[in-house]
Amino acid sequence: MTHDEHLVKARRIVASLEKLSLESDAMCVIDGAVIAGYNLGNALLHRHGVLPDVEHANTPSKLPVAPAQLPTAIQPAFAAFTELERLRLEHVRSPGACDTTLAKRAWQLLDEIRHAAS
């Protein structure tokens, strides 16, 4: 997808996330935030010439280069995305409990990525 298509998808996913409860849907908030992050992260990778429109990285752990080798301007966004991916690993894909605090943290991290992509 193109940079603009990714941003359209990300806006849709953020609107969907806003329908979820931080308290009772905490795990789903984290999972959904990573899906939004996928689109925002790839928008940034396209915008900054790291990947062409036809190539994508699912998450920071799947990047073709180490995060430290990304353009400096997008390193903070990918640092946030890395932590978001870790939350998903520990609390969505593993038995770690989820709560409102973690859901709020997921939103904070997502907002950092959104700010970078705006």
Partner 1 sequence: MNIAMHLERAAAFERALARLDPVEDTELFVVFLMRAGTHRVNAALHALGLTSGVMGGAAGKIGDLNHTYKPKLDVALPPAMQQAFKHLSLLENLRPEFVRGPRVLDHAMADACRAAYAGIRAHTDSILGAGVTP
Binding interface with partner 1 (CB under 8 A): 1, 5, 8-9, 12-13, 15-17, 19-21, 24-25, 27-28, 31-32, 35, 38-39, 56, 93-95
CB nearer to partner 1: give 52 or 95. 95
Q: Are 50 and 42 in contact (CB under 8 A)?
A: no
Q: Provide the minimum distance between the beta carbon of 36 and partner 1 in the complex, in angstroms, as a whole number.
A: 8
CB nearer to partner 1: give 12 or 115. 12
Could you give the C-alpha distances from 116 to 37, 45, 48, in angstroms and in order?
11, 11, 12
CB nearer to partner 1: give 49 or 93. 93
CB nearer to partner 1: give 94 or 118. 94
Give start and end residues of each alpha helix (H) in the chain.
Answer: 3-17, 26-47, 75-91, 100-117
Q: Provide the minimum distance between the beta carbon of 56 and partner 1 in the complex, in angstroms, as a whole number.
A: 7
- The phi and psi torsions of 63 (rounded to 5 degrees) equal -65, 150
In the block, residue with structure tokens 């690993």 = 89
